């Protein structure tokens, strides 16, 4: 009998041990499952928070960048529809052309613009360049120290093309003039001219080297109704880099301006290494957003 009870007790012990073991396993599985669910929820929550913060930061950066370029879109669109915008460019009336007061006012109000210009279908060209607060621009054009604006014109007459540079001080007095017949610049062959003729709205170019400055930049251009010519606004890459560098998104974040092909135009210091390492960064496309307005 004692042997029987001893055997029964051992069976009960094994049973209890088995029950306890299964219970512990179930508790462990449930605990691990709970932890996984919590971690997954936390991860999803963190992802959603990051997504929200990215969208807010992107929109904020976009709005600030549009503040720089939107006036260029507005100017080119409005100016291209001015009455007598396609009037012939007369070398003796460069200060009385209909676009002169408009261009001067814009360059004085928006110092980030390098130049504004009018290119007509006959190949003539009327450009006003901003030299104020830009030693590099003055040096590139051999402009007097007291110059504020440069009027560049290309006149086409009897199959002859003549180019002139007229330098103005802050009172719009002529302080220097240069003339040239040996130059290869043809506005009708520039991409900003050709691209503008393809659309019925202002368009943003890819970066290219400005002929008059030999520095890279971008152009916002818009055609004159009837394809009679194009109005353009230039912004140098250096101005864009300066602007972008001053935009603070977060402690470890920055912004970048990219072409539609995701080629970098300008970026803040915080994201330069990211663009070097990342194959396909996440992008909010600036040109599409502005052009659709």
For 141-188, write each residue's pLDDT tens digit: 999 999 999 999 998 888 788 999 999 999 999 999 998 877 888 999
Q: Residue 20 falls within a domain, yes or no?
A: no
Q: How far apart are CA 147 and CA 130, in angstroms?
A: 9
- Whether this prediction's pTM lies above 0.75 is answered by no
Q: How sure is the predictor about 60, in pLDDT bands with cuts at 50, 70 and 90?
A: low
Q: pLDDT > 90: what percent of the chain?
A: 28
63 and 77 in one domain?
Answer: no
Percentage of residues of the chain with pLDDT beyond 70: 64
Asked if residue 166 belongs to a domain, the reply is yes
Strand, helix or coil for residue 246: coil
- 182 found inside a domain: yes
- Boundary of a domain, candidates 237, 265, 281: 237
Which residue carries 């879109």 as its tokens? Answer: 73
Residue pair 196/219 in contact (Cβ under 8 Å)? The answer is no
Sort 79 into a burial class: Cβ within 10 Å, 0-12 / 13-18 / 19+: buried
Domain presence at residue 5: no
Strands annotated E in the chain: 115-120, 125-130, 149-157, 160-168, 174-180, 203-204, 208-209, 216-223, 229-236, 256-258, 264-267
Segment 95-146, tens digit of pLDDT: 988 899 999 999 999 888 899 999 999 999 999 999 988 888 899 899 999 9
Tell me: do 171 and 256 sit in the same domain. Answer: no
Domain assignment of residue 34, yes or no: no
Q: Is the pLDDT reported for residue 219 higher than 70? A: yes
pLDDT reported for residue 184: 82
Determine the distance from the C-alpha atom of residue 28 to the mean position of all C-alpha atoms in its chain, rounded to a whole number: 55
Q: In whole angstroms, what is the distance from residue 69 CA to residue 46 CA?
A: 34
Beta bridge partners of 163: 154, 180
Q: Residue 169 belongs to what domain range? A: 72-237
Last residue of a domain, one of 237, 257, 272: 237
13 within a domain of the structure (yes/no): no
Please state, in angstroms and rounded to a whole number, the distance separating the CA atoms of residues 143 and 149.
Answer: 9
Domain containing residue 127: CATH number: 3.30.450.20
User: Does residue 141 belong to any structural domain of this protein?
Assistant: yes
The DSSP 8-state label assigned to residue 188 in this structure reads G
Tally of domains in the chain: 2
pLDDT value for 149: 96
Comparing 21-30, 74-83, 161-170, 225-234, the range with the smallest average pLDDT is 21-30
Query: What pLDDT score does 92 carry?
Result: 81
Answer yes or no: do 60 and 182 share one domain. Answer: no
The pLDDT confidence band at residue 278, using thresholds 50, 70 and 90, is very low
Q: How far apart are CA 222 and CA 192, in angstroms?
A: 9
198 and 275 fall within a common domain: no
Predicted confidence (pLDDT) per residue in 244-269, tens digit: 777 666 666 667 777 667 667 777 76
Q: Are residues 256 and 218 in the same domain?
A: no
Is residue 36 included in any domain, yes or no? no
Of 208, 231, 233, the C-alpha closest to 219 is 233
Q: Is residue 85 located within the same domain as residue 179?
A: yes
Mean pLDDT over 53-73 rounds to: 70
Residues 68 and 109: their CA atoms lie apart, in Å, by 12
| DSSP code, position 253 | B
């Amino acid at each position: 009998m004692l042997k029987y009870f001893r055997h029964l007790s051992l069976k009960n012990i094994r049973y209890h041990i088995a029950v306890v073991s299964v219970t512990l396993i179930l508790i462990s599985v449930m605990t691990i499952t709970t932890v996984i669910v919590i971690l997954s929820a936390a991860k999803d929550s963190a992802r959603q928070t990051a997504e929200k913060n990215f969208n807010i930061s992107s929109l904020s950066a976009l709005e600030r960048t549009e503040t720089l370029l939107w006036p260029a879109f507005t100017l080119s669109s409005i100016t291209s529809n001015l009455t007598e915008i396609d009037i012939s460019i007369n070398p003796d009336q460069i200060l009385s052309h209909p676009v002169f007061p408009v261009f001067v006012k814009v360059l004085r109000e928006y110092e980030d613009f390098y130049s504004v210009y009018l290119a007509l279908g006959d190949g003539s060209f009327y450009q006003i360049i901003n030299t104020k607060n830009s030693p590099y621009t003055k040096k590139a054009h051999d402009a007097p120290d007291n110059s504020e604006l440069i009027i560049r014109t290309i006149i086409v007459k009897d199959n002859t093309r003549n180019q002139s540079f007229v330098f103005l001080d802050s009172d719009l007095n002529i302080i220097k003039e240069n003339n040239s017949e040996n130059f290869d610049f043809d506005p009708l062959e520039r991409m900003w001219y050709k691209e503008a003729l393809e659309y019925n709205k202002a368009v943003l170019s890819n970066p290219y080297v400005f002929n008059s400055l030999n520095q890279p930049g971008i152009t916002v251009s818009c055609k004159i109704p009837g394809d009679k010519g194009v109005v353009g606004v230039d912004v140098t890459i250096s101005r864009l880099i300066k602007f972008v560098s001053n935009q603070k998104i977060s402690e470890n974040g920055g912004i970048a301006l990219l072409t539609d092909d995701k080629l970098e135009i300008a970026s803040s210091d915080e994201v330069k290494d990211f663009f070097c390492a990342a194959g396909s960064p996440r992008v909010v496309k600036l040109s599409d957003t502005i052009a659709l307005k």
